[in-house]
Amino acid sequence: MLDVEAIRKDFPILDQIVNDEPLIYLDNAATTQKPLAVMEAINHYYEHDNANVHRGVHTLAERATASYEAARETIAKFINAGSTKEVLFTRGTTTSLNWVARYAEEILTEGDQVLISVMEHHSNIIPWQEACRKTGAELVYVYLKDGALDMDDLRSKLIDKVKFVSLAHASNVLGVVNPIKEITQLVHQVGAIMVVDGAQSTPHMKIDVQDLDVDFFAFSGHKMAGPTGIGVLYGKEKYLEQMSPVEFGGEMIDFVYEQTASWKELPWKFEAGTPNMAGAIGLAAAVDYLENIGMDAIETHEQELIAYVYPKLQAIEGLTIYGSQDLAQRSGVIAFNLGDLHPHDLATALDYEGVAVRAGHHCAQPLLQYLDVPATARASFYIYNTKADCDKLVDALQKTKEFFNGTF
Ligand SMILES: Cc1ncc(COP(=O)(O)O)c(C=O)c1O
């Protein structure tokens, strides 16, 4: 059990009135709020240790370097990477997936296939569209069954031509969690490389990249109580060794001659330019904060919230919920529509009640085309949300329905 009241005290932003109502923040899939511990870690860094890393020999530069590399160590342990060589700091999931797709461009040729699913976020679609466009490879989609990934479709499409498979661990719209460990075994049987978009799973459950055996795993700091502008690309050392750097410049070189240059060893060969030191340190503080609560406890808490709110939402006549009805497959994301009310109007009406939800295509237009809906509203939960927040959401939906004369 989480001590949610104590947790909420760590997030001062939650304690405010919005439109004369206490704020109920249910837009966590877009970005989460930050605890004091993260803000303090960033402040501490700027107040005491700030200097450029790796280059300086003075005391502050050494402290900044030590803190930055300690952050990498913290994150490596958090996801159980084999070593810190396998943890690259990036700007976030989008950058991480772009880097892997660049690597794919070095490998793919005409006739090869890349397999993704129709539930992917644009950041796990467009980099692959580009890689396929440049190499002549084909982008193939796995579709859905009962609101979840169709495993039979996946199996039938896993053929020798497939060189990369890139899938969301948890969908930011359907809320379903894909069985990545099982899928990775299938992917490796055809000799393909398994890439995972962990943007919506890493904040909410224990991630063990070695147990999952994935080849690449991407996530963002800002969706897991950390700062914006920092994320991670985990890659197996054997692939990162082969992979060319995506950006070139200072910090990533070993030696530069007039016409050529050599790279530093892993992980630094990928980190060109002055890195986001404060971001990495803030992310490590977020990891410490989450681990102190316990990733298993966080997952259980969110499952309890979903189990509590889902039937209440189902009971609202005219409310359509997207994704699998099997709650065991779901994380704390629920996308819905209320009758034919535009989701933007719905989100605005909920905001009048102090309830912050997202509305739109959630950067998953192919999924919405597949579901044949232009947009949805989406509530998403985190460690500081309570059953009372769920009740407020349901209540606000009822009020919205009444306001529009229950005409759905
Ligand atoms: C499933 C999924 N993948 C990727 C991203 C992109 O993350 P970022 O914008 O932090 O790069 C998001 C963000 O919403 C997401 O939900």
Q: Are 358 and 27 in contact (CB under 8 A)?
A: yes
Å from CA of 384 to ligand 1 middle: 21
Å from CA of 188 to ligand 1 middle: 25
Q: Are 382 and 223 in contact (CB under 8 A)?
A: no
Å from CA of 16 to ligand 1 middle: 27
- What tokens does 315 get? 């009971």
Q: What does 304-336 look like in DSSP terms, one character per residue?
A: HHHHHHHHHHHTSTTEEE-S-S-GGGB-SEEEE
Q: For ligand 1, what atom is nearest to the CA of residue 171?
A: 1
Q: For ligand 1, what atom is nearest to the CA of residue 91?
A: 11
State whether the beta carbon of 166 lies less than 6 angstroms from ligand 1: no
State whether the beta carbon of 251 lies less than 6 angstroms from ligand 1: no
- Ligand 1 pocket: which of 91, 96, 117, 121 to mutate (most atoms within 8 A of CB): 121
Position 404 scores a pLDDT of 85
State whether the beta carbon of 200 lies less than 6 angstroms from ligand 1: yes
Q: Show pLDDT as tens, one digit a residue, over the chain (408 residues).
A: 899 999 999 999 999 999 999 999 999 999 999 999 999 999 999 999 999 998 779 999 999 999 999 999 999 999 999 999 999 999 999 999 999 999 999 999 999 999 999 999 999 999 999 999 999 999 999 999 999 999 999 999 999 999 999 999 999 999 999 999 999 999 999 999 999 999 999 999 999 999 999 999 999 999 999 999 999 999 999 999 999 999 999 999 999 999 999 999 999 999 999 999 999 999 999 999 999 999 999 999 999 999 999 999 999 999 999 999 999 999 999 999 999 999 999 999 999 999 999 999 999 999 999 999 999 999 999 999 999 999 999 999 999 999 887 655
Q: Are 281 and 371 in contact (CB under 8 A)?
A: no
State whether the beta carbon of 93 lies less than 6 angstroms from ligand 1: yes
* pTM exceeds 0.95 for this model: yes
| Active-site residue (options: 363, 366, 370, 408) | 363
Position 56 scores a pLDDT of 79
Q: For ligand 1, what atom is nearest to the CA of residue 231?
A: 10
Dihedral over Cα of 201, 203, 204, 209: its sign: positive
Residue nearest to atom 12 of ligand 1 (CA): 199
Position 11 scores a pLDDT of 98
Q: For ligand 1, what atom is nearest to the CA of residue 93?
A: 11
Angle 93-107/126-135 helices, nearest 10 degrees?
Answer: 20
Position 55 scores a pLDDT of 79
- Ligand 1 pocket: which of 27, 91, 93 to mutate (most atoms within 8 A of CB): 93
Helices assigned H by DSSP within 79-141: 93-107, 126-135
Q: CA-to-CA distance for 273 and 265, rounded, in angstroms?
A: 15
- Ligand 1 pocket: which of 167, 174, 200, 276 to mutate (most atoms within 8 A of CB): 200
Q: For ligand 1, what atom is nearest to the CA of residue 168?
A: 1
191-222 in b/e form (b: 16+ CB < 10 A) is ebbbbbbbbbbbbbbbbebeebebbbbbbbbb
- Ligand 1 pocket: which of 123, 171, 217, 378 to mutate (most atoms within 8 A of CB): 123
Q: What does 51-77 look like in DSSP terms, one character per residue?
A: S-TTT--SHHHHHHHHHHHHHHHHHHH
State whether the beta carbon of 204 lies less than 6 angstroms from ligand 1: no
Q: Are 209 and 81 in contact (CB under 8 A)?
A: yes
Active site residue 363: yes
Residue nearest to atom 7 of ligand 1 (CA): 93
Å from CA of 80 to ligand 1 middle: 22
